[in-house]
Each structure stands twice: as C-alpha cells, then as structure tokens.
Amino acid sequence: MARVRNWWNWNHSKSVTLIWLICAIIFYSVFRLLLRNSYHTTRSIYSVATDFPNSNSERRLRLYDNLERDLEENGALFLKQGETSQSLSLSDLFTVKDGTVTPVLQAANPPVRANVLYLSTEHSVPISKAVKGIFLPYFDRAIWFQNSSMYHFSMFHASHHITPVPASEVEIETEANDVKAVAEVLCPLKIVLDRVVLTSTGVLLGCWQVLSGPDPITVRAKLKTALPRAPEKQLYDAAIFHTSFARLLGHPTTLPAEVDKTSEIHFFHQLVARLNNQIHGIQATVSELWYVEEYDLLALALNGRMQIRKYQLSCSKA
C-alpha cells in the first residue's frame, strides 16, 4: 500500500513539474512573440528595408515613417485646402474642363532650374497602371496622375520659386555643363520601392531605398558643390528619395456602399495598402540625371513648358 502511494506521489510530482515546465515554455514563447511583434509594428508593415546597414538609409526610413503618419496625424487636408510640398495650393493648380482634370499653369519667372533623377518608362509605366487601377474607380475627376513619361526624383534646385536665382543664357549653359560633369562621375543607382504613402496634402508618393550606387545625400552634395549659386535652402530633406505618382484633389467621387464620410480616411488607408501590396519591393535602375528649365511652376508634375537636358550616369573615374 505504502509503495503504491509513494509511486503515486512520485508520479504526481513528476506531472506537476511537467505541467509547470510546459506552462513556462508556452509563456516564454508567447512573451518572445509579443516582443517581436511590438518590434515589428514600430516599423511600417510595408517596409522592405528593415536591415539597411548605413545611417543614410536609416535616416530615410525615419522620414518615410513620418510621412506615413502624416495623414493620420494631420487629417486629409486636401479635402479642404491642400498645399503641395512646394507651398502651392492644390486647388489653385487644377480645374475641371470638359469633364477632365486640367492643370492651371502659371509661368515661372525666372524659370525654375531643377535637377532630377529620371525613372525610365520601363519601371514607371507598370507603376502608373497599378496606381490608376486602384484609384481611378473612386476618384474620377478628383485625381491628377503624374505623366508616366516624367516620373522623377527631385534632387537639387539651381533656382526655385521661393528663392529665385536669375541666370543669363551663358550662366545656364555653364550650370548645365557642370551638372553634366557630375552625371559623368556618378554610377547608376539600383533602388527598391520601400513603400507608397499618401500625405495629408493628398500627394501619393513612392518612397525608395538605395540598394547600390551613390546615396541621394551624395548626389545632392555633388550638385551643391557644382552649383554654388543655388539657394541655400532647398525644398526637401537631403536624404529623401521619392517620386510623386498622383495628387488627390478632393473627396472620392464614388464610394463603396459600406464607406461613409466618417470612414473616408480609413478608406484612403485601405487603397494605399492595396497599392503597397501590389508594388512595394519592386526594383529599378536609375541612370539619367536631368537638368530641367521649368517655364511653368511644377512643369515636370503638370505637363508644363520646359526644356530638358539629359545626362547619363556614366560611372567614369573623376
């Protein structure tokens, strides 16, 4: 009898230990999982760029995180009176003529002189198709799509409308030649689309990371050295590397039945999420630097009048 009891006790305490052990393992696993999740949710769920080793990429990620939060924090300003990143009011930039959205072009005096990296149509056309496929059904006549022949990364302005730097034709030729010299020593950039964000001003932006080739910070530094008369204050953070895909101009013209005005922002997030699922992570090669004289404000964005000088990034030793 005593032996049976002892045996039972021993077995019983073994079971208790086993149960405790299992509990501890489960607890530990769940704890680890929660830790990992909380780490991941601090990063965008779309970010493909979680392991970039250098600080420029980190700086860009933080910029993109901020851009992503902008709509949440500031609301959809474009439903009221959006401004572009260049402080121009969106509602002043477009009108609806014969049922189609038409840009209102304003002459730039003196012309804006912009240096941009160009995204070729091999990459821009599929992106543009995806953007239209998702947004056009809901934003007929309330959206402007960037011309897919003109997808570009704004890098450095020799003159912009906030700080105009007038230049003679000779000076413009000199600037263009100096930019050409920069292009010659730069190598092409291999890049990846980190994510798409919609800003509070209604601009749908592609935010990119660099896989190889010169960092945008380096490109801007070289342009700044080559163009010493350029405005000290440039329009963008030196680390940013973005292309504009479209501009939302107002409320959706068609809403799915389950969406009402109070859940519009949520709906915008859903559309952006859908677009991200389709195109984030796509890779591209950038191999042209353009020196652009814009005779109209935002000519590159609005199909305005401009003169473009195109230079290949030819990777030659300086």
Ligand X SMILES: *[C@@H]1O[C@H](CO)[C@@H](O)[C@H](O)[C@H]1NC(C)=O
Q: Which residues bind ligand X (CB under 6 A)?
A: 147, 149-150, 303
Q: Based on CB atoms, which residue is closest to ligand X, 103 or 206?
A: 103
Q: Based on CB atoms, which residue is closest to ligand X, 95 or 147?
A: 147
- In angstroms, what CA-CA distances link 40 with 53, 103, 192, 286? 17, 41, 20, 30
| Minimum gap (Å) between residue 146 Cβ and ligand X | 9
| Minimum gap (Å) between residue 145 Cβ and ligand X | 9
| Minimum gap (Å) between residue 297 Cβ and ligand X | 16
The residue nearest ligand X at its CB is 147
Beta strands (DSSP E) in the chain are 94-97, 100-103, 107-118, 143-145, 152-159, 189-198, 203-212, 242-248, 283-286, 288-296, 306-312
Distance CA 202, CA 79 (A): 8
Residues 6 or more apart whose CB falls under 8 angstroms from that of 244 comprise 146, 203, 204, 205, 206, 301
- DSSP 8-state secondary structure symbol assigned to residue 80: T
Residues 6 or more apart whose CB falls under 8 angstroms from that of 261 comprise 251
| Minimum gap (Å) between residue 303 Cβ and ligand X | 4
- DSSP 8-state secondary structure symbol assigned to residue 82: -
Q: Based on CB atoms, which residue is closest to ligand X, 69 or 310?
A: 310
| Minimum gap (Å) between residue 30 Cβ and ligand X | 54
| Minimum gap (Å) between residue 120 Cβ and ligand X | 13
What SS3 class is residue 153? strand
Distance CA 3, CA 11 (A): 12
Q: For residue 307, count CB atoms less than 10 angstroms from its CB and return exposed for 0-12, middle for 13-18, buried for 19 or more.
A: middle
Q: Based on CB atoms, which residue is closest to ligand X, 148 or 199?
A: 148
Distance CA 136, CA 115 (A): 30
Q: Based on CB atoms, which residue is closest to ligand X, 116 or 217?
A: 116
57, amino acid identity: S
Phi, psi (degrees; rounded to nearest 5) at 84: -80, 175
| Minimum gap (Å) between residue 150 Cβ and ligand X | 5
Q: Based on CB atoms, which residue is closest to ligand X, 216 or 304?
A: 304
Q: Based on CB atoms, which residue is closest to ligand X, 245 or 268?
A: 245
